[in-house]
Structure 1
């Protein structure tokens, strides 16, 4: 099935409507389209072809948005790269996807220079005046973007997201939250995350204004929400907690939705939000579902505490078990599969259902409760961290015989990694932390390193993470590696 080119159609329908606000500058949809066509012309002139895969290593700035939309005009696939990863981690993803180019902004020039296997292009050197001749239609089955998720075997997998996935995600969210003609979405989450990227897709599909923040600035965000300039914002718990703690007065009555992802919020925080008339919509979703697939409306925030809510209108969920079990999801927003991973696809997709790997239950009223996020997954400040990836790096150290990683509570980030390790020789926490910093993104570096004589394993030699957790709780004298924080 084909659909009109989103941005071209939006610029035709509502050309004078504000599309983007960044700091003191704004663009209408007509102006946004014009900038996108100039960027597309420059990229096409640099050799980027329809069907090619292009990595984007850039922050939350207008030129990043122009680049994302420009690749759609060309018909190239955007690989959204987490800028917090190391050059080695990024290069691995580019190689895995078969990327033809790496597009970077000025802030990431040094990191891009360390990647030699793929031609690099700066996205801020756009001086082209000629406009690109865009395509008229998108195919809903066509791949639009690739986002890598951390893998349980230590290597991430590229999630395929089609135009149809993004369209279904946007419409499903609209059915749930509604669309107001004067809506404006504040985006302070990274554009390389599905939470940020999905806001861009909603913008052109809805004809909705975006207020883009280069980074999360609690004072600036609270000011914007109090001013009445924005009506919706996407957050994770760590962001919301800081916003509420720093809030004086109340947000504008125009502000109608705080879309909360990255795990459930604690009851005291929800109670504070209720007192301050902040409407919190808790959600459950993932990269594989192109953002939220389950959402809890604010009227149930306290009566259904801990629940992620009910599925969006075009989606369905079920539990693989009688009372609790693996969460299975289905819907037009669910990825068609992982890039170049036939075995993973065979395991994840069965009988029309996507197996999330998360454990949950559904109550008698149909509300989903997520009991365990992919069992071993650590969610730190909204970032997904798999222990296996960290363990793989730790065992690369010549003195480490074996390692086990778990998530432990943290007041600021919700959870942080803690590493248990067995060594051949004396090895300090500081030395091991320095080794990890050269191999891992900062937020993945364990905040704690605990040397042990052996790791707990069962008869099948499988690591018993629950026993590591018990050991952690029994011993409170842990030295935190301060530099390993997010």
Structure 2
């Protein structure tokens, strides 16, 4: 794929604006923006970026909730070949400041007052019209090489320093071109309530735009409002995480909401219980498709749950163009039917972690033939039909409600308490969140309830522990490694017994 062939969000919207100028591109609580209007908004944003010295390879950062303006800034950045760094609004102020600095942004767009952004020029979204070019000269599309960086998606909204996952333009180009194959079209209406700083949201948004469909974008998820919008706009597609599905099914309005226009629901980003998949199939019109993959790229797995009810315990089969290997602890291929670390590759791979070459190298596996593969940290097993089951995780990361939580961040906070000798945090199954963190703490004489309150007051919203247990000592293996699996299994067994 050469530079002139790389599709960008800006090119796709410009083409749709010429073909169907009045067709709704995005619907928000602020109103409807047609493809022609979105194109013009993006052109003005591109002209203003160029005026301010932003061009090919420069970075602009956005720290804001979902909005049509957010999307227009993405379009403008793509037009000038700039990198867009999506800063999570869920992170605390310290982490946000660190991400902004790490991104190297020339401009920061935000709706937050008092953001610590160093020397970065800040544009308030409430005053965006003052910043935009009113009578903009149309900036020509930058000649974007396929491997030029397009987005930096930060891997976590928790405290500490998340890793910036750098995705090239060709990564999104393949998504733009795959919309039709995923069932999107000009008549598609996609409801999105996950944040635009998430790769989950961007994937569905880009595929819908690429096919000329309409995005209904919520600033934040609310089950009652989601159901109202789904019925009102005759929504055909949605991207969800399991906790959202649970809340929608539990809402008293669910069974009396007309969801008959649905063709498919996509779900990803967190452990997805087979029982929840079955309930969706029984109660919700349209198909159900689960995706398993990484923002870092590599192969994806797809489960067409409505076609394979006997495989709901799996994450499906490998998507076209992907390759899979299951490796043991010595990085050797495991025998057929045995479990190993899921290591994948595909044409869509990240460029690396921003400013972190050592961590980039650590997450990759170089095969004997020199090919580069992406480590997932997950342990999986293939069945005789090629369906992958995730049976464990090598990494300690917890996925709760679609968000990544790093136990070391929570453990570091606990270490700052005067009575805590040592602590370990693990993820346990949660019907609501998929997983939720639980802390095991060695702190003789401490009060568990009080320590939990102290801890949660110092954590981000998504990090807060569901339980805190005081124990005499952490279980350790022969070489002193804490046996987190033992902590998790014991906790789950006690919960079942109770």
| TM-score bin, normalised by smaller chain | 0.7 to 0.9
Which position in structure 1 is the counterpart of 2:287? 279
Whole-angstrom distance in 1 between the partners of 2:70 and 2:193: 14
1:363 Cα offset (Å): 1.6
How far apart are the structure 2 equivalents of 1:374 and 1:144? Answer: 30
Partners of 2:126 and 2:265 lie apart in 1 by 32
Task: Tell me if the contact between 1:151 and 1:389 (Cα under 8 Å) persists in the aligned partners.
Answer: no
The match for 1:378 is 398
Quick check: 1:255 aligned with 2:286? no
What is the 5 A alignment of 1:118-267?
Answer: 118-127=120-129, 128=132, 129-131=134-136, 133-136=138-141, 137-150=143-156, 155-172=161-178, 174-175=180-181, 177-227=182-232, 229-246=234-251, 247-249=254-256, 251-267=258-274
Q: Is the 8 A contact 1:264 1:308 kept in 2?
A: no
Structure 1 pair 420/185, CA: closer, same or farther in 2 (3 Å)?
same
| SS of residue paired to 1:78 | strand
SS at 1:34 equivalent:
helix
User: SS of the residue aligned with 1:167?
Assistant: helix
Deviations 1:64-104 (A, max 9, x none): 11122222223221111111110111122222333333321
Partner Cα separation in structure 2 for residue 12 and residue 153 of structure 1 = 44
How far apart, in 2, do the equivalents of 1:299 and 1:245 lie? 21
Are the counterparts in 1 of residues 88 and 157 from structure 2 also a CA contact under 8 Å? no
Partner of 2:330: none
Of stretches 449-458 and 210-219 in structure 1, the one that deviates more from structure 2 is 449-458
Aligned equivalent of 2:475: 456
Corresponding residue for residue 326 of structure 1: 341
The equivalent residue for 2:113 is 109
| Deviation readout 1:415-463 (Å, 9 max, x if unpaired) | 211112234874664456445544x421112222223332222232211
Aligned twin of 1:82: 88
Q: TM-score, normalised by structure 2?
A: 0.86
Offset at residue 263 of structure 1 (A):
3.3
Kept in 2, the 8 Å contact 1:79–1:146? The answer is yes
C-alpha distance in structure 2 between counterparts of 1:307 and 1:424, whole Å:
42
Separation of aligned partners in 2, 1:220 and 1:115: 34
Q: By how many angstroms is 1:344 displaced?
A: 2.3
* Contact residue 380 and residue 416 of structure 1 kept, 8 A: yes
- How has the CA–CA distance of structure 1 residues 340 and 21 changed in structure 2, closer, same or farther, with 3 Å as cutoff? same
Aligned pairs for 1:427-446 (under 5 A) are 429-430=449-450, 433-434=453-454, 437-438=457-458, 440-446=459-465
Q: CA deviation at 1:342?
A: 2.0
Deviates more, 1:221-230 or 1:154-163: 221-230
Asked whether the equivalents of residues 60 and 213 of structure 1 are also in contact (C-alpha less than 8 Å), the reply is yes
SS in 2 for 1:202: helix
- The reply on whether 1:67 has 2:73 as its aligned counterpart is yes
CA distance in 2, matches of 1:174, 1:386: 36
Match of 1:342 in 2: 357
SS at 1:300 equivalent: coil
Give CA-to-partner distance per residue, 1:102-146, whole Å, 9 cap, x none: 3212xx324x2x444644321231223132533324322111101
Q: Identify if the C-alpha distance between structure 1 residues 431 and 153 changes in structure 2 by more than 3 Å, giving closer, same or farther.
A: closer
TM-score of the pair, normalised by structure 1: 0.88
| Equivalent residue pairs, number | 470
With over 3 angstroms needed to count, the CA separation of the structure-2 counterparts of 1:279 and 1:250, relative to structure 1, is: farther
Matched, 1:466 2:485: yes
Secondary structure, in 3 states, of the residue corresponding to 2:311? coil
Flag the 1:419–1:51 CA change in 2: closer, same or farther, 3 A.
same
Q: Which moved more, 1:51-60 or 1:429-438?
A: 429-438
SS in 1 for 2:306: helix
1:202 CA drift (Å): 2.1
Paired with 1:287 and 1:454, the residues of 2 have a C-alpha distance of 37
Shift of 1:150: 4.4
Which residue is 2:331 aligned to?
Answer: none
Hey, what's the Cα distance between the residues in 2 that align with 1:435 and 1:132? 54
For structure 2, the 5+ residue unaligned runs are 328-333
1:44 deviates by: 4.1
The separation in 1 between residues aligned to 2:446 and 2:38, in whole angstroms, is 58
Quickly say closer, same or farther: Cα 1:415–1:87, change in 2 above 3 A: same
CA shift at 1:211, angstroms? 0.8
Structure 1 alignment gaps of length 5 or more: 478-486
Whether contact under 8 Å (1:63, 1:124) holds in the other structure is no
Does the 8 Å contact 1:228/1:253 carry over to 2? Answer: no
> Is the 1:406–1:465 contact (alpha carbons within 8 Å) kept by the matching residues of 2?
yes
Question: Once the 2 structures are TM-superposed, how far is the Cα of residue 46 of structure 1 from its aligned partner?
Answer: 4.5
Q: Is the 8 A contact 1:154 1:392 kept in 2?
A: no
In 1, are the aligned partners of 2:208 and 2:215 still within 8 Å (CA)?
Answer: yes
Compare 395-404 and 210-219 and name the one that shifted more: 395-404
Contact 1:100 1:119 in 2 (8 A): yes
In structure 1, C-alpha distance between the alignment counterparts of 2:240 and 2:277, rounded to whole Å:
13
Does residue 16 in structure 1 map to residue 35 in structure 2?
A: no
